[in-house]
Amino acid sequence: MNTNLRTLTQPLWIGRIIAAIGAVALLGYPLVSQDTYYQNMIILSLVFAVGAGGLNIITGLAGYVSLGQGAFIGLGGYTIGVLATRFDGVSPWFWVPAAGVVTALVAVLLGLVSLRSRGPSFVIITVAFLFLTQVIAINWVGLTNGTAGLTLPLPSWDRDIINWPFYYALVAVLALQLLMTWWIRRTKFGMGLVAIREDETKAATIGVALPTHKILAFVASSVFVGMAGAVYGYYLTFIDPRGMFSILISVQIVLSLLIGGKATLWGPVIGAFAIEPLNEYANNSLGGGNTRLFLFGGLLMAVVILLPHGVLPAVESFLYRRRTTGKAGLVGARIGTGGSLASLTSYAERVPPPDHGATPAPALLEVSGLRKSFGGLKAVDGCSFTVPEGSITGLIGPNGSGKTTVFNLIDNTIAPDAGVITLAGRRIDTLPSWERAHLGLGRTFQITRLFGEMTVLENVVAAQRSFSWRQLGRIAVSGPEAAAADELLEFVGMRAFRDQKAQALSYGQRKLVELAQILMLDPKIILLDEPAGGINPVLIERMGEMIRELNSYGKTFLIVEHNMPFLLDLCDPIHVLARGSVMASGTPEDIKTDPHVIDAYLGDDFQLEQEAVQ
């Protein structure tokens, strides 16, 4: 039973029937009706559907709101306009794919420029981009003929079927785009995009290469829009900068996506086919111009307030609730006992730790001179320690001593002020988070950071153990990827929850899923930030067993934990952190008896916490 209402991979059967009826009606309409008014309306709706479908990739999946989407339609229109007026003998249709390529290339540029911005500043960049393209179209007179516009060759076919080629070309572009979106949402690439939407910093720590994903998302969100823009330009036969790069086109696209439903497959199509007729109506019967703006503004507000997820998700959730009333939800379900990793081959490989004989194990992770200040507060202040290969190393210290910040610096969730970090002899402190993950660094968060809107399975398969183009295109939600994730979920005892949304899980369940998620990276070293914090005693015991089992397969651990019996039992060596630097290191016995440690840490805090644990 799938409960992920907004997933694109399992549309309800009702949805499939409606989509099939819609497709047949769309394909058959020009054959049964000669009414060019309605044909025109459908052609415009198709253009907006493709525009909104493209926006769905960057906004719906990746979470980056763009108001510049209309520029891609304009770029497509101008590509065909410029080329068709220059190459007389060539059919303008030839330039439609070229428009897709040109638009995608410009989108790559926009992606590169906006890589480091997010939220409102990203929106502003996209608006600026739209105006910039318009200004260029106006002023590059040699290429675009400026404000005088371009007139394309008139269609050469029979007047009776004058609209048909445009109509069916747009249907084909829309179909291709829907296919692409459906496919993307099933791939590792699509998982990466949704992960970026849900929590970009966290996505980077599980190996999602952010720049590549964002730029590819821009390409995917623009290529078919450029082609639709080209067909549209040819259909209009006359294009000018004000018409092709009007911000109203972008607004209508955004509105279509929001009304239909972000991150759904059909939402943008439904939205576009609802908004465009309304737009026509406002133009023809309500006086156009300002009425249209008023209408759009009002609608936008109404949607944001009344249907924050859009029409399609609202309908789906209504149908879903009707279908499943009385079914047990998460509340009664219990965490499984878990299995072993015995059969696991591809992920979390079982390589026993190397035997170093009498010589001490080499350092797998080495941190030296790490520093980080927040304003005047020195959270980490010259912190140095090593984690021997094959060990379960502990890191303890009073609250606020900088343990979590040390983790944040090691995986680049926060940039350090100074310090050297090496992993397996290689300096990693200048690398972005995802490259550290690819080199074998896995890290859980003190307050777990799962992707709430994704299912448990999707959370696990979102992890990328290395970067390759082939991997990005690999199907994530079924096949070997899903099988590996299933096995890891079985190991942590969460297989039964694979199709639940992560946001519905309890605190302890989240910790288990986050562990499975980073195991998907097949990490060399696993950093656990308070794995036993806030979970029940049975689960604490199970957590200890899992850590030992994974360690026997060759995984090295660095564990921050306040539960002293748990930690002293599990870890050797142990480093003690005080005010951001290591004040003592040694075996559990050394630590328990070190007068400085007892004085500084175990003396007061430790006893208090011991009581709290009991």
Residues that bind ligand ADP (CB under 6 A): 374, 377, 379, 397, 399-405
- Token pair of 486, please? 């299933």
Q: In what order do the strands lie in the sheet with 525-529?
A: 441-443, 525-529, 556-560, 392-396, 574-578, 581-586
Rounded CA separation 370/406 (Å): 8
Q: How far is the CB of 393 from Mg ion (least distance, A)?
A: 16
Rank residues 372 and 403 by Cβ distance to Mg ion and give the closer one. 403
8 A C-beta contact, residue 423 and residue 604: no
Rounded CA separation 138/141 (Å): 7
Q: How far is the CB of 408 from ligand ADP (least distance, A)?
A: 7
Rank residues 371 and 474 by Cβ distance to ligand ADP and give the closer one. 371
Binding partner of residue 294 among ligand ADP, Mg ion, none, CB cut-off 5 to 8 Å per kind: none
Which phi and psi angles does 442 have, rounded to 5°? -120, 140
Rank residues 223 and 591 by Cβ distance to ligand ADP and give the closer one. 591
Binding partner of residue 459 among ligand ADP, Mg ion, none, CB cut-off 5 to 8 Å per kind: none
Binding partner of residue 401 among Mg ion, ligand ADP, none, CB cut-off 5 to 8 Å per kind: ligand ADP
Residues that bind Mg ion (CB under 5 A): 403-404, 446
Rounded CA separation 320/268 (Å): 21
Q: How far is the CB of 433 from ligand ADP (least distance, A)?
A: 16
Binding partner of residue 374 among ligand ADP, Mg ion, none, CB cut-off 5 to 8 Å per kind: ligand ADP
Q: How far is the CB of 541 from ligand ADP (least distance, A)?
A: 24
Q: How far is the CB of 403 from ligand ADP (least distance, A)?
A: 3
Rank residues 199 and 486 by Cβ distance to ligand ADP and give the closer one. 199
DSSP reduced 3-state for 3: coil
Which phi and psi angles does 556 have, rounded to 5°? -90, 145
8 A C-beta contact, residue 367 and residue 386: yes
Q: How far is the CB of 527 from Mg ion (least distance, A)?
A: 12
Rounded CA separation 234/579 (Å): 68
Q: Which residues pair with 529 in a beta bridge?
A: 560
One-character DSSP codes across 287-316? -SHHHHHHHHHHHHHHHHHH-TT-HHHHHH
Rank residues 401 and 500 by Cβ distance to ligand ADP and give the closer one. 401
Rank residues 316 and 529 by Cβ distance to Mg ion and give the closer one. 529
Rank residues 422 and 446 by Cβ distance to Mg ion and give the closer one. 446
**Alpha carbon 164 to chain centroid, angstroms:** 38
Q: How far is the CB of 590 from ligand ADP (least distance, A)?
A: 21
